[in-house]
Structure 1
């Protein structure tokens, strides 16, 4: 009996702590002048050791998939799990986020807190599911771009969940409407290189949802490469761009349509010359040439390379 009470006590402490956090989030969302950006920043904070001792047992911490991603455990990680275990506790927060949806960082906050809830809690209405699915893709896009812009991987656990537990798990993926599945596929395609998930690429391509315009744009590989090429042109942080140019070499040998191949080649060529429109640094120019050498060896004339 004492042993059972000893086990129950940490669980009660954890629930009380997470409940208190939820109440604080509610209060901040109810304040008219409360900053969603500040709330988002607080949710993204790493949990200190004292809070970990309250929220998680040692066994929980060791087995936590979020903690194993990059040795970080953030408040949004534990709250996302909490709202799956206790959905009613998250509902007031969800309703408040919907009310302030037009504000900056509303979609970001939704994605952090409810990305697991959407797939692991039963939702009855198809229209509600479509709305929340679209909101998740929008919010996750905004959140992951923050990592890109800062060359950090603070939100890697969010990406990892959406890739490993949703995109690669048809049972969960099929919970959301087909259009949302497509949007999620496009989103993950743009960030797989950044989060070093190329070992999952083959499985990811095999589970690509059906696209209505596939006859025009090609198959899963073409869709993926098109998204990567578009992403490359948006990258402004040199270390991130260099990382993509190294990772992109895994596309060697991939069967692509001529139009897709040409699009990728043109994109890479844009990084080989100094000046506009990309204004690449010397390191980027050399990395782009290296990628071209590997992916399109027959089309490269070495003495044309910019120094």
Structure 2
């Protein structure tokens, strides 16, 4: 990278870090404005980087190509850049992290932590195991919140966060094992609920292969059972029709999974609940049709059973 470009990038990231630190300090000092300030900061770090600023903020290789893995500049958000920066230069993010810790119990604190420090948690050595548990819990909570924001808006602004946790953490034992076992379980359950939304279903088998052991496995079943239970619970919570239709259309990947009878029955009952108008799900015609298609695909002959 040319020296001038490196200097401009460093200056930009330093300025961004100082702005974040300033707003966090304001939130800490002002109890009456704390919630609104944290919400503003969350919105700021989730914004897309202006196209004109990307060449300055992104590191460039000798050929002038972006170092970002997916190469999609148009969807680059500030949290993408800052998460990389704090993982590579952890000292620069420490003042921000210290302030977030003091604001743990506040709304949007976990959101901000998950966006800015998800790579730091898995790529930077931690000083003690107690810290790992606290940070991992905040990550799961924050990621849950931001993924639901995507669900409600039917956007995928936080796709890069999901993909990192899915591909670069849960499928990489060296990283996932950095956090306590219970946090690992919580992370796998979280990703199970949103996997269909973020369209990485082609790696479902690999994901299930890396599933951690659960203490109630003798009652619930294996990884496939746990995944389907989480999936069906999520399906019943969805209220945005395009998202619900997307989930139902993706269910073909569940064909061939070896499930316990109780799990299979649970999934069938869940789909049945979307086939009739009215309570409790109040599905639209499109949802009812999609649910019947999923039932017919996963449980051949289901129409005959219902006849």
Q: Same fold (TM over 0.5)?
A: yes
Task: Kindly state the Cα deviation for residue 71 of structure 1 after the two structures are TM-superposed.
Answer: 4.3
1:66–1:77 CA contact under 8 A, matched in 2: no
- 2: CA distance, partners of 1:61 / 1:47: 17
Query: Which of 50, 53, 57 matches 1:51?
Result: 53
Where does residue 123 of structure 1 map in the other structure? 126
**Secondary structure of 2:127 counterpart:** coil
2:59–2:67 CA contact under 8 A, matched in 1: no
Q: Tell me: CA distance 1:61–1:262, structure 2 relative to 1, closer, same or farther (3 Å).
A: farther
> Moved runs in structure 1, 4+ residues, more than 3 A?
57-63
Q: Within the alignment, does 1:166 sit opposite 2:169 as a pair?
A: yes
Task: Kindly state the Cα deviation for residue 302 of structure 1 after the two structures are TM-superposed.
Answer: 7.7
Structure 2, unpaired ranges of 5+: none
Where does residue 26 of structure 1 map in the other structure? 21
Task: Kindly state the Cα deviation for residue 58 of structure 1 after the two structures are TM-superposed.
Answer: 4.4
2:150–2:157 CA contact under 8 A, matched in 1: yes
CA deviations on 1:199-254 (whole Å, 9 max, x unpaired) are: 11010000001111111110000000000000000000000000000001211121
**Secondary structure of 1:123 counterpart:** coil
Task: Kindly state the Cα deviation for residue 138 of structure 1 after the two structures are TM-superposed.
Answer: 0.5
- 2: CA distance, partners of 1:122 / 1:106: 22
Where does residue 69 of structure 2 map in the other structure? 65
TM-score normalized with structure 1 length:
0.93
Query: Which of 35, 38, 49 matches 1:36?
Result: 38
1:225–1:264 CA contact under 8 A, matched in 2: yes
Where does residue 88 of structure 2 map in the other structure? 85
**Secondary structure of 2:257 counterpart:** coil
**Secondary structure of 1:124 counterpart:** coil
Where does residue 3 of structure 1 map in the other structure? none
2:220–2:226 CA contact under 8 A, matched in 1: yes
1:107–1:136 CA contact under 8 A, matched in 2: yes
Q: Within the alignment, does 1:231 sit opposite 2:226 as a pair?
A: no
Where does residue 13 of structure 1 map in the other structure? 8
Matches within 5 A, 1:200-279: 200-279=203-282
Where does residue 183 of structure 2 map in the other structure? 180
Where does residue 196 of structure 1 map in the other structure? 199
Where does residue 99 of structure 1 map in the other structure? 102
Task: Kindly state the Cα deviation for residue 298 of structure 1 after the two structures are TM-superposed.
Answer: 3.0
- 2: CA distance, partners of 1:129 / 1:49: 36
Where does residue 160 of structure 2 map in the other structure? 157
- 2: CA distance, partners of 1:253 / 1:57: 44
Task: Kindly state the Cα deviation for residue 85 of structure 1 after the two structures are TM-superposed.
Answer: 1.4
CA deviations on 1:123-180 (whole Å, 9 max, x unpaired) are: 0200110110011000000011100000000000000000010001111011111111
Between Structure 1 and Structure 2, how many residues are aligned?
Answer: 298
